[in-house]
Amino acid sequence: MQTAHFWNKLNLRRGKIGILAFLLFLVANSANSQGLFGLTSTSGSDDKFISYGFFLAAHNNSYRLKYTDQFVQASDPASPNVRAIFPRFNPGFSLGFIGMMRLHDQVQILFTPKIGFYEFRTEVEYFPTNFTPQPGNTAEEPVTPVADVNTIINEATMIELPLLFKYRSQRFNNTRMYFIGGASYQFRTKSQDEANLEDLVTTGQDYAIELGMGFEIYFRFFKFAPEIRFSHGLNNIYQAENTIPDIRDAISSIKRKSVTLYLNFQ
C-alpha cells in the first residue's frame, strides 16, 4: 500500500515535475550555448581598427512628386487632360560591401558601396473624354465614367556610395542596438541619351540623406545585423524638356525616396 501511495503522489504532481524538467533543460541548453552564441564569442569587428563585411538588401522605393502651380490652378490649367499623377511604391533589391573604421567601441564610420536595382512606377490619371453606358442602365440612372490610367515605368540600376556614422549601445550578452546615419552619392548606369527616350525623364545623379537603426547579433564566427534604413533624395532629378507633353508642365519636382531592409554579415 505504501508503494502504491508513493507512485500516486508522483502522478498527482506530474505536471509540476514536467515544467521543472523543461526549465532545467532550458538552463542547461543556455549554459551549453554560451560558447557558441554568448559572451565568449569573439566574432565581428569590435577590436579591429579596419574590418569588412557584406550585405543583401530589399527595398521599397518611390518618387516624391510636386505639382506646378499652373497645374493646380482652376482657370486655364497646364495639362488640362490630366487629372492627377500618383507615384507608387515598388520593390527592388541591392547588394554590396561594408568597410568599417573603428573610432571607439561604440562609434564607427562605415563606407558601404552597393549596386541597387530599382523600378519606379508612376500612374497618370486622365479625365474621361467619352464613355459607353453599360447595359441595363436607364436614362434616369447616373453613369460615372471611368478615368483612363497610364502607368509609366522607369527602370534604373544605381551605384550608391554611402558614407555613414554608426553609434552602438554597449554590448549586452550577444546583442547590441545601433543607430546609423549619413549621406550617399548615387549615379545611374544608364546613359542620359537612353533615359531621354522614356515617357518620364529623370537625371542620373543624386545625393541622399540616410537614417536607420538595427541590431547586432553575435555568433561564434561572424556577426549578423538586420537593419532598416530610410533614404531621401536631395536633388530635383526631373527633366521636363524630354518628358512627354501630357505631363511635362504638370510636374515641378521629382525626388527619390526608399525604405530598405539590410541583412549585414560582418
**What confidence tens digit (pLDDT) does each residue in 20-32 have?**
455 445 444 444 4
Mean pLDDT of 209-237: 94
Supply the pLDDT for residue 146. Answer: 61
Global pTM reads 0.76
93-149, pLDDT tens digit by residue?
999 999 999 998 899 999 999 999 999 999 999 888 655 545 555 545 555 556 688
Q: How far is residue 69 CA from its own chain's centroid?
A: 32
